[in-house]
Amino acid sequence: MAASAAAGGAEPSTTVVDAIRDAITTGDFAPNQRLVEAELSEQFGASRAAVRNALMQLTTEGLVERIQNRGARVRAISLDEAVEITEVRMALESLCAAKAAEHATDDDHARLRALGDRMQEAVAAGDVLGYSELNRRLHALVLAISGQRTACAVLERLHGQNVRHQFRLAMHPGRPNVSLPQHLAVIDAVCAGDPDAAEAAMRTHLRSVVEALPQVEKARTTLR
Q: How far apart are the first and last CA of the chain?
A: 29
Tens of pLDDT, residues 140-172? 999 999 999 999 999 988 877 777 777 778 878
CA 55 to chain centre: 20
Contact 29, 54 (CB under 8 A): no
Report domain extents, the chain.
Answer: 2-74, 79-222
Segment 195-200 shows an average pLDDT of: 98
Specify which residues 71 forms β-bridges with.
Answer: 67
Residues 46 and 221: their CA atoms lie apart, in Å, by 38
Residues 151 and 190: their CA atoms lie apart, in Å, by 18
Whether the model pTM is above 0.85: no
Amino acid in the structure at residue 4 = S
Tens of pLDDT, residues 7-49? 444 344 568 998 998 888 777 888 889 999 999 999 999 999 9
CA distances from 221 to 16, 215, 217 (A): 34, 10, 6
CATH number of 79-222: 1.20.120.530
CATH topology (fold) of 2-74: Arc Repressor Mutant, subunit A (1.10.10)
